[in-house]
Every structure is written in C-alpha cells, then in structure tokens.
Amino acid sequence: MKKLVPGFTLIELMIVVAIVGILAAIAYPSYTDSVRKGRRAEAITALYQLQIAEEKWRANNVSYTSTLGTDGLGLPATSPASGTAYYDIAIAGGADGTSFSATATAKSTGGQDQDKAGGVSCTPLTINQNGPDYGTPNQAACWGKN
C-alpha cells in the first residue's frame, strides 16, 4: 500500500500564486495613490507655511518678498525640505506690495507628476495672499475641498 505524503500539489500552488497576483494588482495602484496624496499634503503644508511667512514679512516690510531662502522667508525651495524632493516651490512672477503668488510644481520623481484628484491634475498647486488658487473648480479636490 502506498503511503500518502502530505504537501501541496502543483495546481494548489498555482491557485495560491494567482490569488496573490490578483490581490497585488488591486492593492498596488491604491497604495501608490495614497503615497501621492501624502506627498501632495506635504506640498500643501509647505504652501500654507509660505503664505504665513509672506504675511509676517509684509507686517515688517512695505511689501511681499519673492525670495524663499535665508535672505528672504527662510523657507526651502522644495517639498519636503529634506530627503527626496517631490515638489519645487517658487514664488511665481515675483511679489509686489499688495500680492504674491506661489506654486508647488510636482517633479517626475516617484511619479508625483501623475497625481490626480477628481480626474484633474494636481500640479501645479498655487496659493496667493487670499489663499489657495484653485485655477479650475475641479482642482479644489486637490486641496481636499471637494
């Protein structure tokens, strides 16, 4: 009489591999989307910090500044400030006595330039002296307002 050896057959093993592959195909895009949203949140925080720094600057000077570095607002030109930068931060078009406009433009690093919310591209993100500039109504989703 033949003794049965416990173990898995090749068919059982292939079924498990197929199930794991299907789960990974579903989970990976969701994971990368969550990572992009987290990086976008860091860029939005950097823009809000820039807006506050501009208001502090204007309270002590006659106009807004267009300088991010140590000679101006003392803020970094990338987000996040340390590690791999996923956004370039800039004061667009300079600044004058009554207004400023700052942008966070996604780099292609890590696919951040593919970031979308509500079907709309989330780059560049723009803020001015009045707050976030949505550009189009659909871009409000990028700022978490939809």
DSSP string, 73-128: T---SEESSSSS--EEEEEEEEE-SS-EEEEEEE-SGGGGGG-EETTEE--SEEEE
With 70 as the cut, is the pLDDT of residue 94 above it? no
Q: Taking residues 49-74, report their average pLDDT.
A: 87
Q: Are 64 and 99 in contact (CB under 8 A)?
A: yes
**Given this model, what pLDDT does residue 95 score?**
64
> Quick one: which of 70, 77, 133 has its CA closest to 101?
133
**Contact indicator for 88, 74 with CB cutoff of 8 Å:** no
Question: With pLDDT > 90 as the criterion, what percentage of the chain qualifies?
Answer: 27
Is the pLDDT assigned to residue 77 strictly greater than 80? yes
Dist CA 95 CA 36 (whole Å): 30
- CA gap 138, 146 in Å, rounded: 8
Whether the predicted pLDDT of 67 surpasses 70: yes
Would you say the pTM of this structure is higher than 0.95? no
Considering the chain, what is the average pLDDT of its residues? 86
How far is residue 118 from each of residues 25, 58, 121, 145, measured CA to CA in Å?
22, 35, 8, 11
Exposure of 86 in the CB half-sphere (CA atoms within 13 A): 21
Domains in the chain: ranges and CATH: 12-143 (3.30.700)
146 pLDDT tier (thresholds 50, 70, 90): low
Query: pLDDT tens digits for 3-20?
Result: 777 777 889 999 999 999
Q: What is the pLDDT of residues 36-49, one digit of tens each?
A: 999 999 999 999 99
The per-residue pLDDT for 44 is: 92
* Averaged pLDDT for residues 127-143: 83
**What's the average model confidence in pLDDT over 71-100?**
82
Contact 64, 58 (CB under 8 A): yes
**pLDDT in the model for residue 20:** 95
**Beta-carbon-side half-sphere exposure of residue 39 (alpha carbons within 13 Å):** 30
